[in-house]
C-alpha cells in the first residue's frame, strides 16, 4: 500500500511543478537515465523527472504516467527500457510512452560507435587482432545465454537472482565463451534455488532459444558491460580490474555516445513525432 501512496506522491510532485513550469515533463528510470537524456533535451522547454524504487523504476514510471494521463495532465511522456517486451505482448501502451530501441539504455550504447571508442581507449590493438572475432558480436553471442536465462526466470516465475553473479565463474576470460551449465549453477547458488535441477534448467533454456529472436532484445546491457569488463582485462586488453570496472565502463560509454548516434534511433524519431502531435510542448533541442 505504501508503494502506491508513494507513486501517487510522485505524480502529485509533478502536478505541483506545473504551477511554476508550463513545459514538458519527461519521466525516466533512475538517475543514470536522467544524466543520459539530459544531454538531448531543451531544458527551457522540458524538465526531467527520474522515477526509482519498488516494485521497479520501470513499473513506477508507467504507473505515474498512467495516473497523470487519467487526470488529463498535458505535456507528459515517459521513456523506459524495452526489456523483453518486444518478444512478448506489451503490458502497457500509450501514445506518451516510449521504449528504448534495444533491450535497455546500455545496449543502445553498445550498439553504437560509442563501444568502438571505449574499446580503442582501453583495448590492446595486438590482442584485438589476435582475438579474431568482432567484439560487439562476441559480446552479443555470449550475452544471449544470460539474457535467455533472465527471460526464462521471468516467464516461469523462478525469481532467480542475477545481481552480484561472478561472470568469471562461467566465462572463459581468453575467448569470452560461456559455459551454460556453470552459468546455471552460479545463478542457482546466488539465488539459493537449490531445488531446481541443473539439467531441467538447461533443457528449458535450450527450448527458450529461437533463431528468430533479435539478440539486441534478448541481451541485457549490464551483462554485456560485465563481459566487456572481463574482455578488457585479458581477451582484448591488459587492464587492471579497477580500471575497467563495469560502472566506470558504463559512464565511459555514456560519455562516448554522441548526439548524432541518438538522432539515428527510432526513439529519437518517436519523440519528434510526439512533439509534432503535442504542440506547443517540446522535448529535444533543435540542434539534436
Residue 170 within a domain: yes
Residue 238 within a domain: yes
Residue 284 within a domain: no
Question: What domain range is 249 assigned to?
Answer: 106-258
d(CA 59, CA 51): 9
Q: What's the confidence (pLDDT) of residue 54?
A: 73
Residue 233 within a domain: yes
d(CA 134, CA 116): 11
Residues 70 and 117 occupy one common structural domain: no
Q: What's the confidence (pLDDT) of residue 16?
A: 97
The whole-number mean pLDDT for each consecutive block of 10 residues of the chain, a chain of 288 residues, reads 72 96 97 95 97 85 96 97 91 93 98 98 96 96 98 96 97 97 98 96 95 97 98 97 97 97 98 98 88
Number of domains in the chain: 2
Provide the grid cell at 10. 510522485
Q: What's the confidence (pLDDT) of residue 288?
A: 57
- For the entire predicted model, the pTM comes to 0.94
Residues 127 and 11 occupy one common structural domain: no
Residues 113 and 82 occupy one common structural domain: no
d(CA 187, CA 182): 9
d(CA 203, CA 200): 5
Residues 60 and 164 occupy one common structural domain: no
Residues 250 and 125 occupy one common structural domain: yes
Residues 149 and 25 occupy one common structural domain: no
Residues 18 and 113 occupy one common structural domain: no
Residues 182 and 68 occupy one common structural domain: no
Residues 248 and 134 occupy one common structural domain: yes
Q: What's the confidence (pLDDT) of residue 1?
A: 47
Q: What's the confidence (pLDDT) of residue 5?
A: 57
Residue with cell 541518438: 262
Residues 78 and 96 occupy one common structural domain: yes
Residue 288 within a domain: no
Residue 282 within a domain: no
Amino acid at each position: 500500500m505504501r508503494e502506491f501512496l508513494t507513486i501517487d506522491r510522485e505524480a502529485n510532485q509533478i502536478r505541483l511543478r506545473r504551477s511554476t513550469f508550463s513545459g514538458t515533463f519527461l519521466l525516466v528510470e533512475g538517475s543514470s537515465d536522467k544524466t543520459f537524456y539530459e544531454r538531448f533535451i531543451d531544458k527551457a522547454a522540458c524538465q526531467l523527472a527520474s522515477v526509482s524504487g519498488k516494485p521497479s523504476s520501470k513499473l513506477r514510471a508507467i504507473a505515474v504516467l498512467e495516473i497523470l494521463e487519467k487526470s488529463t495532465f498535458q505535456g507528459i511522456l515517459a521513456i523506459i527500457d524495452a526489456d523483453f517486451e518486444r518478444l512478448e505482448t506489451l503490458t502497457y501502451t500509450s501514445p506518451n510512452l516510449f521504449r528504448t530501441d534495444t533491450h535497455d539504455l546500455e545496449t543502445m550504447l553498445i550498439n553504437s560507435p560509442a563501444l568502438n571508442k571505449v574499446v580503442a581507449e582501453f583495448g590492446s590493438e595486438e590482442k584485438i587482432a589476435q582475438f579474431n572475432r568482432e567484439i560487439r558480436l562476441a559480446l552479443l553471442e555470449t550475452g544471449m545465454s544470460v539474457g535467455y536465462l533472465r527471460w526464462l526466470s521471468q516467464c516461469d516465475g523462478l525469481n532467480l537472482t542475477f545481481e552480484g553473479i561472478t561472470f568469471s565463474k562461467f566465462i572463459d576470460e581468453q575467448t569470452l565463451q560461456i559455459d551454460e551449465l556453470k552459468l546455471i549453477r552460479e545463478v542457482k547458488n546466488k539465488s539459493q534455488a537449490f531445488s531446481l535441477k541443473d539439467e531441467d534448467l538447461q533443457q528449458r533454456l535450450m527450448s527458450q532459444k529461437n533463431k528468430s529472436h533479435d539478440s539486441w532484445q534478448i541481451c541485457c546491457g549490464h551483462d554485456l558491460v560485465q563481459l566487456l569488463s572481463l574482455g578488457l582485462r585479458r581477451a582484448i586488453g591488459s587492464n587492471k580490474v579497477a580500471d575497467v570496472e563495469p560502472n566506470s565502463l558504463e559512464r565511459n560509454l555514456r560519455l562516448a555516445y554522441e548526439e548524432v548516434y541518438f538522432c539515428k534511433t527510432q526513439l529519437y524519431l518517436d519523440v519528434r513525432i510526439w512533439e509534432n502531435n503535442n504542440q506547443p510542448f517540446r522535448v529535444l533541442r533543435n540542434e539534436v
